[in-house]
Amino acid sequence: MDLFEKCLKYDVAKNARKQGLYPYFHYLESGQDIVVNMEGKRVIMLGSNNYLGLTSHPDVIKASMEATKKYGTGCSGSRFLNGTLDLHIQLEKELAEFLHKEDVVTFSTGFQSNLGIISAVAGRNDIIICDKENHASIYDGCRLSFAKMLRYEHSNMEELEKLLQTVPNDKGCLIVTDGVFSMGGDICKLPEIVRLARKYGARVMVDDAHGLGVLGKNGRGTAEHFGLEKEVDIIMGTFSKSLASLGGYMAASAEVCDFVRHNSRPFIFSASIPPACIASALAALNILRNEPQRVQNLRDITEYMRKTLKERNIPIRQSEAPIIPIDTIDDWRTFYACKALLEDGVYVNPVITPAVPAGEAIIRTSYTATHTKELMDEAADIIQNVFEHKLPPVEYFNDLREKMNK
């Protein structure tokens, strides 16, 4: 059998292109911001994770340019050997202080952080228990660890407890959860997770990719939000969202970080974060520390948009973070809505199967501390017009699917 048969048969993207509904790989001709220039048009950005609006902040840009001038464009090697700069050490130290943990290890991306942390701390003789809606990188980290993975229905604490009861005494156990779930925008039930972990002797790891800069009075994330910073054993996060850069990290005890530094293959066998990215993450962290009102601005503008969309009868889902999912139900209907919105000047993210169960497709909208009420009113007008006048009902797409299958 030809290995490439699956590629030759793959027609999902082709069908979407044929229908003129392909929603991916649109390109920007401007920086990532609240309004962007996308393929020649002014577009309101409701689909980025630039939560604090720092990708265009002058201090962040200046820091990355100065770092490039001083250190060059890349580190040409692993943190383990030639690729550690004083900047890496400074960022790890400052982040550990900010997150109230003993130590921090940085990785080249957020995705790689989950691969590197989970595969180092869990092995063949261990058990990892995951929320079913955890991020893909957590799943891949679990696979890479060779530990046995168990999964509970999203945020179902009874199921989590039942799974914990099956863990034999001679096995280590790690509970891993997203802090803020990236698609639904809901927050994990951390107090209950921590309580159960203590009861059954498990460790807790929180992926706070969407929690840092978003939750807690000071933007320290999900653990700060619940007052449980000491109780979470490993806080993982990324620099690609609130911190306007690229890279990821784990914050934990000195012993666990030291172990990961010397045993994590994705950490050891990969080049370190380039100077510009480390310097911009440091500058963004500095702004987060000194301007916590940005976190409040983000909450206020998200609340404003939630209220505005509700008043206009847009079918939004309940969520707590700066992510507001809008129900579009059908995958093709989701593509159609994204296209119509983009034509009218709003970019949003389509979320379809297998990222969500069939029939539960959504448009994921996300917000930035620097979004203004005027801009949100403009975006809400466009969304309302598309949902009221342009978006056909689900049945239309059932017919379309049947036609395509013939």
Ligand X SMILES: Cc1ncc(COP(=O)(O)O)c(C=O)c1O
Residue 359 to residues 117, 330, 386, 392: CA-CA distances in angstroms? 34, 5, 20, 16
Structure tokens at 36: 């962007």
Closer Cβ to ligand X, 164 or 243, answer by number: 243
Return the amino acid letter for 205: M
User: Measured between alpha carbons, how far is 298 from 322 in angstroms, rounded to an integer?
Assistant: 7
User: Measured between alpha carbons, how far is 399 from 406 in angstroms, rounded to an integer?
Assistant: 11
Active-site hit among 64, 182, 264, 280: 182
Residue 182 annotated in active site:
yes
Active-site hit among 135, 241, 339, 371: 241
Give least dist CB 230 to ligand X, A.
Answer: 22
Judged by the rule CB under 6 A, the positions of this chain that interact with ligand X are 109-111, 114, 135, 137, 178, 182, 207, 209-210, 238, 240, 248
First to last CA, the chain: 26
User: Measured between alpha carbons, how far is 212 from 223 in angstroms, rounded to an integer?
Assistant: 10
Which H or E element spans position 361? strand 361-366
SS3 8: helix
Closer Cβ to ligand X, 211 or 275, answer by number: 211
Residue 270 annotated in active site:
no
User: Measured between alpha carbons, how far is 29 from 38 in angstroms, rounded to an integer?
Assistant: 6
Give least dist CB 340 to ligand X, A.
Answer: 25
Tokens 């916590």 — which residue?
Answer: 292
Give least dist CB 140 to ligand X, A.
Answer: 10
Closer Cβ to ligand X, 188 or 202, answer by number: 188
Give least dist CB 223 to ligand X, A.
Answer: 15
Please say whether the beta carbons of 42 and 48 come within 8 A: no
Please say whether the beta carbons of 133 and 154 come within 8 A: yes
Neighbours of 123 (CB within 10 A): 12
Residue 389 annotated in active site:
no
Give least dist CB 351 to ligand X, A.
Answer: 12
- Alpha helices per DSSP H over 246-388: 254-263, 265-268, 275-290, 293-311, 331-344, 373-385
Give least dist CB 169 to ligand X, A.
Answer: 31
Closer Cβ to ligand X, 101 or 210, answer by number: 210
Residue 176 φ/ψ, nearest 5 degrees: -120, 135
Closer Cβ to ligand X, 245 or 308, answer by number: 245
Closer Cβ to ligand X, 177 or 308, answer by number: 177
SS3 216: coil
Active-site hit among 135, 210, 339, 371: 210
Residues taking part in catalysis: 182, 210, 241
